[in-house]
Amino acid sequence: MRSKKQFAVIGLGRFGGSICHALMKEKMEVLAIDQDKEKVEEFASIVTKAVVADSTDEKALKKRGIQNFDHVIVAIGDNILASILTTIILDDLGVEKITVKAQNHYHEKVLNRIGADSVVHPERDIGVRVAHQVVSESVLEYLEVSDKYSIVEMVAGAKMVGKTIVELDFRATYGCNILAVKREEDVYVSPSPDLVMKEKDILIIIGADDDIGRLENHWMD
Ligand code: ATP
């Protein structure tokens, strides 16, 4: 079983708010911080504890024992200066893991230099995902693993139906692996090589972007 970790989320906009909801769903302990009293009141009944504080005030953060949290997420978007100052303070206080939302490429660069352990850029990442989905009609989901590799979720093309995974031969021909096949309510993780593809099956595939593209060109109509 996973241990119950203590998270603090600073900034309760759409991004920070959705992180709070997701962490609570995972049964984690969450301290939510925002300088806006109304936001804090909104989250008081959702998270473990919600407090009003300005995260650029070192004393205020220390008073809340922020240094004792396993992971602090800085979800301040618009106010780049506040986001940078907060990150520096958290790093100075010795917070073990700091994840920060970046607003743009330069913000991301600064955050990487000043002690953020992880920088997320949700708008850019969603943009890339949506672009992949609209370029290819068969791609339902796209997750970038690195510059060259990704995981895609695609609907089985008509040409695939009736063929086994061995017959599709994705690994030898394209160097791609089928991680799972979703069939209605069922999910076949590491599917058997004998599994026969059915109409509407959804394949979850990992591989190099170029190879996934070649595979799609061959198998999708
Ligand atoms: P999102 O894009 O996630 O919806 P947003 O645009 O709604 O964000 P932002 O301005 O990015 O809002 O800020 C997110 C939250 O961070 C706001 O609720 C804001 O009150 C809070 N915030 C901003 N600066 C500070 C600060 N110094 N200390 C605490 N909270 C802050």
**How close is the Cα of 26 to the center of ligand 1, in Å?**
23
For the chain, what is the largest distance between any 2 Cα atoms, rounded to a whole number of angstroms?
Answer: 65
| Tens digit of pLDDT at every position of the chain (221 positions) | 567 889 999 999 999 999 999 999 999 999 999 999 999 999 999 999 999 999 999 999 999 999 999 999 999 988 999 999 999 999 999 999 999 999 999 999 999 999 899 999 988 888 887 877 777 777 888 888 888 999 999 999 889 999 999 999 999 999 999 999 999 999 999 999 999 999 999 999 999 989 998 998 888 76
Q: So what's the pLDDT on residue 218?
A: 87
**206: β partners:** 151, 177
- Helical packing angle, 105-113 and 80-92, nearest 10°: 10
Check if 42 has its Cβ closer than 6 Å to any atom of ligand 1.
no
Check if 39 has its Cβ closer than 6 Å to any atom of ligand 1.
yes
Q: Which ligand 1 atom is the nearest neighbour of the CA of 16?
A: 3
Q: What are phi and psi of 53, to 5 degrees?
A: -160, 150
**How close is the Cα of 144 to the center of ligand 1, in Å?**
27
Check if 55 has its Cβ closer than 6 Å to any atom of ligand 1.
yes
Q: So what's the pLDDT on residue 2?
A: 63
* Separation of alpha carbons 50 and 44, rounded Å: 5
* Separation of alpha carbons 173 and 169, rounded Å: 6
Check if 13 has its Cβ closer than 6 Å to any atom of ligand 1.
yes
* Separation of alpha carbons 41 and 156, rounded Å: 47
Check if 36 has its Cβ closer than 6 Å to any atom of ligand 1.
yes
Residue 4 has, within 13 A of its CA and on its CB side, a CA count of 7
Check if 89 has its Cβ closer than 6 Å to any atom of ligand 1.
no
CB distance 170 to 208 below 8 Å: no
Q: So what's the pLDDT on residue 188?
A: 95
